[in-house]
Structure 1
Amino acid sequence: MIEKKLEISMLYDFYSQLLTEKQRDMIDLYYNQDLSLGEIAEDLHVSRQAVYDTIKRTEKILYDYEEKLKLLHLFHSKMINIEKIQEKVFALEKKIDASASTEELKEEVSAIKLLFGELLNN
């Protein structure tokens, strides 16, 4: 459940402006503020069933947006490339400290440049 909660929260961050105010409020209260369905229903003066239905419909809408726009996927891809670049920079630093040959250093720099290119093109 924690994985879904995090995923919905991230989808909400990317796509909340495409939702109605009511949808934004309910998703925010349920996933980000950790309120129960009953608490949300009481706060918004609606039935618990209405809150449940709205949350389920909004989750589907968020997943549909992601399927079409792929912003979360793109974000994850960029984060992976950033982590790879960081690893390469640390490896380059170690090679410099170990007095690696100019050729080895150039290879590491080329690999970093390639990763930066992928990051910018995604």
Structure 2
Amino acid sequence: MTSEEALSKTNRINMLFDIYGPLLTGKQSTFLGLYFHDDYSLGEIAEEYEISRQAVYEHIKRAEQALEDYEAKLGLLRKHEERRQVAERIEALFAGETSALPGELKELVRKLYNID
């Protein structure tokens, strides 16, 4: 995995954690937060909680899978990204950065209403 892919994965997990974190178990939430938010290593977490690195790894992997499962079922991150893209386009139209095609603003508003 390249550093760019690793960063992309970390950003995705952090965004999913922000949305679905309260649905995780206490250990999953704690270990995932330490690993992805606070940049602890598996060894540091294992030492602090007096468990094996493998146990920490398993908790984190299960937490990642749970977050991805929630996203697959609920799609809240996907919907957020769609709204952000539409909002950016609307801002660009009002800032005069691009010329609006006839009816484009109306279409963007319709998209916003239909995301959910």
Using structure 1 for the length normalisation, give the TM-score: 0.81
Q: Which has the larger radius of gyration?
A: 1
Secondary structure of the structure 2 residue equivalent to 1:91: coil
- The match for 2:76 among 71, 75, 83 is 71
By how many angstroms is 1:42 displaced? 1.2
Match of 2:105 in 1: 112
State how far apart, in whole Å, the 1-side matches of 2:113 and 2:19 are.
19
By how many angstroms is 1:2 displaced? 0.5
State how far apart, in whole Å, the 2-side matches of 1:55 and 1:48 are.
11
- The match for 1:54 among 42, 49, 59 is 59
| Greater than 2 Å deviation, 4+ residue runs | 110-114
Post-superposition CA distance 1:57-92 (Å, at most 9, x none)? 111111111100001100110010011101111128
State how far apart, in whole Å, the 2-side matches of 1:119 and 1:55 are.
34
User: Identity percentage over the alignment?
Assistant: 41
By how many angstroms is 1:111 displaced? 2.9
* Aligned partners of 1:12 and 1:62 also within 8 Å: yes
* Aligned partners of 1:23 and 1:55 also within 8 Å: yes
* Aligned partners of 1:9 and 1:31 also within 8 Å: yes
1:19 counterpart = 2:24: yes
State how far apart, in whole Å, the 1-side matches of 2:109 and 2:49 are.
47
Structure 2: stretches of 5+ with no match in the other structure: 1-5
State how far apart, in whole Å, the 2-side matches of 1:78 and 1:45 are.
43
State how far apart, in whole Å, the 2-side matches of 1:121 and 1:90 are.
24
The amino acid that maps onto 1:17 is: P
Higher helix proportion: 1
Q: How many residues align?
A: 110
Using structure 2 for the length normalisation, give the TM-score: 0.85
State how far apart, in whole Å, the 1-side matches of 2:59 and 2:17 are.
14
State how far apart, in whole Å, the 1-side matches of 2:82 and 2:104 are.
17
